[in-house]
Amino acid sequence: MNAPLIGARVLRKEDYRFLTGAGQYTDDVSMPGQTYATFVRSPHAHAVIKKISIEKALKAPGVIRIFVGQDLADAKVGGLPCGWLITGTDGKPMKEPPFPCLAQGKVRHVGERVVVVIAETQDQAQDAAELVKVDYEALPAVVDPKKASTSKPIHDIAPDNVCYVWALGDKAKTDEAFKGAAHVTKLEFLNNRLIPNAIEPRAANAQYSRAADEYTLYVASQNPHVERLLMTAFVLGLPESKVRVVAPDVGGGFGSKIYLYAEDVVVTWAAKRLNRPVKWTAERSESFLSDAHGRDHVTVAELALDKDGKFLAMRVKTTANLGAYLSTFSSCIPTILYATLLAGQYTTPLIYCEVTAVFTNTAPVDAYRGAGRPEATYVVERLVETAAREMQIDRAEIRRRNFIREFPYQTPVALQYDTGNYEATLKAAQQLADISGFEKRKADSLKRNKLRGLGYACYIEACGIAPSNVAGSLGARAGLFEAGEVRVHPTGTVTVFTGSHAHGQGHETTFAQVVADRLGLAMEQVEIVHGDTAKVLFGMGTYGSRSIAVGGTAIVKALDKVVAKGKKIAAHLMEAAEADIEYDRGVFKVAGTDKQKTFGEVAFAAYVPHNYPLDKLEPGLNENAFYDPANFTFPAGSYVCEVEIDRDTGKTEIASFVAVDDFGKIINPMIVEGQVHGGLTQGIGQALTEGCQYDKTGQLLTGSFGDYCIPRASDVPSFQLDTRETACTHNPLGVKGCGEAGAIGAPAAVMNAITDALGVKDLAMPATAQTVWKNLQENRHARV
C-alpha cells in the first residue's frame, strides 16, 4: 500500500536533468550534416519589395542555399492558417489575408521574414545575410489601433484595416439599464502590449530522410501535434504520417510557442531541398520582433449600478490590435476568451461587449499567458474598484454585494459556471493581508515619505479549454479534446503518453502522481512521455491552463479502461465473477474473500497469457482514451496587493502580495504554488515594468531586455499564497487548472493599489517610476 500521492508535495522527476545541464532543448540538438539558417528580416514596417539581390551573398563562404518568397510560391508552399473563424456582427466571416512564410511583394511589419540564408555554420549564415540586398519602397505605416481604419490598407482584402467587428450580449437591454442607473462608472484605458519572452528563444531544427521520404522537426512548441497538423495539412501539403514533430525540453512558452511560425515551415521545407538538416535558433532580438505578442486593447468600459452598489449592467467597447497578420489563434483571444469573462465573479445581469479587431504594421498578436482573461479581469476589477471609491462603499463590500453565490450559474455572456465560493477566497485573502492593519501601515509609510495603497482583484477564468462542439459553434477549426495512452508493461510498470506538453509545468511529476495514485503504484513505476508525435498517439497540447483538467482526465479515462480489463483478467485468474472483483491500490481482490492478485501479476498474465481467457479477451494491457470536456473549468480567486510609492522617485515597490486561489482539487501543491508565483510575476510585470512600444513609423523601441523590462528578482516580493477548494463538478479529478491565474489577477490588483496610493482614478500600465513620478508632479498641488 502506498500513501496517497494526489495532494502530496512530491519533488519533481524532471529536475535532475535540468540541474545537471542534461536537459535537451531544440538548439541542443545537432544532427550529422547540420546546416544553419538565418532570416533576413524587414527593416520597414510597411513597404513594397522592389528587388532582392542575393548574388553576393551566394558567393560568401559556407553558403549553401538562399531562398526568397518566390521560391516558396513556386513550390506551392502555402501561407500560415488561422485556427479560429470569427463571424462579425454583419454576419460575414472575418477578413483572412494571406500570411506567407517569406514575404511576397510586400512587408507589413518590422521583423517580417524576407529571405532565408542557409550555410555551413551559424556565423557564415549571418555574415552572408548581411550581403543580401533588398530594395524597398516604404509605405506609410500604422501602429495605433485607433488610427488603423483611417490609414493606408495593409491587406487588399481589408481596405479599412478591420478584420472583424464582433459583439456579445444584449445591446438594447444593456443601454436601457444604463438609463435608469443611480451611478455609472466609466474608464478608458489601454491594456498594454506585452512581449512574452520565454527565456529559451524559439528554435526549429528539421531533417529530411530521402530513404524514408520522412521529415523530423525538432521545435520549441507547446503542441507538437497541432504544429504537425497545421504544417502538413495547410502549408506543405504532406501526409501527416511523413512528418514527425518533436518538442523536446522547451524553455517556457506562455502562449508564444503555441503557434505555427514561418521559420518552422521554412526549415522543414528547406531540409528536403538541401537534403541536410537545417537549424534556426532565434536571437533574442528576433524574439522581440517576431514572436507573437500579447494584449494590446484600447477599451472604454462602463458599469451601471443602483444606489446600493448592485451592478445593473456593463458596457464595453474594445479595439483589439491583431498586428500585421492573423497568428494561429489570434482571432479568438479578444472575443471568445475575453467578452465571455466580463461577468467576473458577479451577478451583473446585462453585459454588452463590442470588439473591433484591426490590422496594424506591428508583429502579430495572439495568446499570451491568460489570453483575453487578463484583459477581461482588468476591465471588471478596475471598474468595480473605481465604482466603490466613487460611491464610497467599501471595496470588499461592493464585491460581496454582487458575488454569485449559487451554482451552476448562467452568465449573460454565454458561460455557465459549475462551482465556486468567492466569499471563501475573499475572506481568506483579507485575513492573510491583514486588512485591518492597513491604515497603520499607511501612516508608517507616510512618515518615510512614501505613499501606500491597497488594491483587490477578484478574478475568474475559463480554463480546461474546451468542449469541442461549443468551440466549433464559436468558430474553432480544431477539436479541443486531449488524448492519453496507458501502456502497462509485462512487469507491471507503466508508461503514460500524453498529448499535453510540459515546458516548465512539471507534468512528468504531476501526471505520474495521478497515475501512481489511481493505480496504487510507486512514482518510480510510472513514466510520463510527451512531446513527440512518433510516440504520443495524438494531442492538442498545452495552453489555457488545460493540461490537468483535459489531459489529466484523458489519462484517468485510459486508467479506468486498464483497471476494467484488469478485472476481467483477475476474475479469470481467481476463478471468480468479474462483478466480484474490486481494485484497491494495486491489488485486484475478490470481494468478501482473501483472494487477491497484484497489479503486476495481472499485467504479467496479460503479456504471458498461458492461463488467460483468450477466447474472450485480447492479450496485452494497453489503453487509449480521448477526453472532450463537458464544460470549461472556472478557477477563481482573490488577490490583495499593497504597494509603497517613493514620492521623490515615483518608484513603486510591491510591499506585499496575497493570492488565495480556488483551483479545485490540487495534485501537487508545490508545483501549483510555483505556477502562481510565476503568473503573478508576469502580471506584476505587465502592471509595473513591461510595455511594448513602437514608434510612429513602426520601429520597435523595446527590442531588448534593456528596453523591455521583464521583472527581475528585486522587482517582486515573496508572495503569500493560500487556496480554497471547490471541486470541479465535471471531471473525475475535480481539477480546474492553475497556470494562468496569477497573470490574470495581478495587473488589476497592482493598479488598484497604485491608484489608491496616488488618489487618482486611473493610471496607464506599465506604471513605471517615470509614469508615477509624472503623475505625482501633475497632481502635487491637488494632493498636498
| Cα 707 to Cα 472, 689, 758, distances in angstroms | 40, 10, 26
Confirm or reject binding of residue 28 to other proteins (CB under 8 A): yes
Of the candidates 71, 112, 227, 249, which one interacts with other proteins according to CB under 8 A? 249
Confirm or reject binding of residue 200 to other proteins (CB under 8 A): yes
Cell of 456: 483587490
The SS3 of residue 711 is coil
Q: Which residues contact 100 (CB under 8 A, 6 or more apart)?
A: 69, 72, 73, 79, 262
Of the candidates 4, 19, 239, 780, which one interacts with other proteins according to CB under 8 A? 19
Confirm or reject binding of residue 128 to other proteins (CB under 8 A): no
Which of the stretches 221-229, 263-271, 277-285, 513-521 binds other proteins when contact is defined by CB under 8 A?
Answer: 277-285
Confirm or reject binding of residue 441 to other proteins (CB under 8 A): no
CB of 114 to other proteins, least distance (A): 21
CB of 421 to other proteins, least distance (A): 26
Residue 440 to residue 453: CA distance in whole angstroms: 12
Rank residues 360 and 675 by Cβ distance to other proteins and give the closer one: 675
**Which single residue is written with the C-alpha cell 488603423?**
148
Rank residues 16 and 696 by Cβ distance to other proteins and give the closer one: 16
Do residues 79 and 240 touch, judged by C-beta distance below 8 A?
no
Residue 547 to residue 739: CA distance in whole angstroms: 9
Confirm or reject binding of residue 558 to other proteins (CB under 8 A): no
Residue 367 to residue 254: CA distance in whole angstroms: 8
Confirm or reject binding of residue 75 to other proteins (CB under 8 A): no
Q: Hey, which residues between 648 and 707 contact other proteins (CB under 8 A)?
A: 670-671, 673-674, 677-682, 704-706
CB of 497 to other proteins, least distance (A): 21
Confirm or reject binding of residue 241 to other proteins (CB under 8 A): no
Confirm or reject binding of residue 18 to other proteins (CB under 8 A): yes
Q: Hey, which residues between 51 and 70 contact other proteins (CB under 8 A)?
A: none
Confirm or reject binding of residue 22 to other proteins (CB under 8 A): yes
| Cα 350 to Cα 170, 344, 375, 683, distances in angstroms | 7, 12, 19, 28
> Binding string, 30-49, against other proteins, x = CB under 8 A?
x-------------------
- Phi and psi angles of residue 349, each rounded to the nearest 5 degrees, phi first: -80, -25
Number of residues that bind other proteins (CB under 8 A): 58
| Cα 68 to Cα 39, 79, 714, distances in angstroms | 10, 14, 45
Each as own residue / partner, the long-range contacts of residues 610-616 (CB below 8 Å, 24 or more positions apart, any chain) are 611/572, 611/573, 612/569, 612/572, 613/568, 613/569, 613/572, 616/568
Of the candidates 719, 748, 763, 767, which one interacts with other proteins according to CB under 8 A? 719
Which of the stretches 153-161, 232-240, 315-323, 500-508 binds other proteins when contact is defined by CB under 8 A?
Answer: 500-508
The SS3 of residue 514 is helix
Of 182, 194, 171, 163, the closest CA to residue 94 belongs to 163
Confirm or reject binding of residue 221 to other proteins (CB under 8 A): no
**Which single residue is written with the C-alpha cell 495524438?**
538
Confirm or reject binding of residue 448 to other proteins (CB under 8 A): no
How does DSSP assign 726-784, residue by residue?
---SSSTT-B---SSHHHHHHHHHHHHHHHHHHT-S--PSS--HHHHHHHHHHTHHHH-
Rank residues 62 and 609 by Cβ distance to other proteins and give the closer one: 62
Which of the stretches 8-16, 98-106, 440-448, 748-756 binds other proteins when contact is defined by CB under 8 A?
Answer: 8-16
CB of 440 to other proteins, least distance (A): 23
Do residues 140 and 151 touch, judged by C-beta distance below 8 A?
yes
The alpha-helical segments, DSSP class H, found in 583-703 are: 599-607, 669-688
Of the candidates 276, 297, 503, 597, which one interacts with other proteins according to CB under 8 A? 503
Confirm or reject binding of residue 15 to other proteins (CB under 8 A): yes
Rank residues 501 and 589 by Cβ distance to other proteins and give the closer one: 501
- Phi and psi angles of residue 241, each rounded to the nearest 5 degrees, phi first: -65, -15
Rank residues 252 and 479 by Cβ distance to other proteins and give the closer one: 252
Q: Which residues contact 146 (CB under 8 A, 6 or more apart)?
A: 298, 319
Confirm or reject binding of residue 197 to other proteins (CB under 8 A): yes
Confirm or reject binding of residue 710 to other proteins (CB under 8 A): yes
CB of 220 to other proteins, least distance (A): 10
3-state secondary structure 142-199: CCCHHHHHHCCCCCCCCCCCEEEEEEEECHHHHHHHHHCCCEEEEEEEEECCECCCCC
Other CB atoms within 10 Å distance of the CB of residue 187: 18
Rank residues 379 and 528 by Cβ distance to other proteins and give the closer one: 528
Rank residues 75 and 199 by Cβ distance to other proteins and give the closer one: 199
Given the rule CB under 8 A, which residues bind other proteins? 11-12, 14-25, 27-28, 30, 123, 197-201, 249-252, 254, 281, 283-285, 503-506, 670-671, 673-674, 677-682, 704-706, 710-714, 716, 718-719, 742
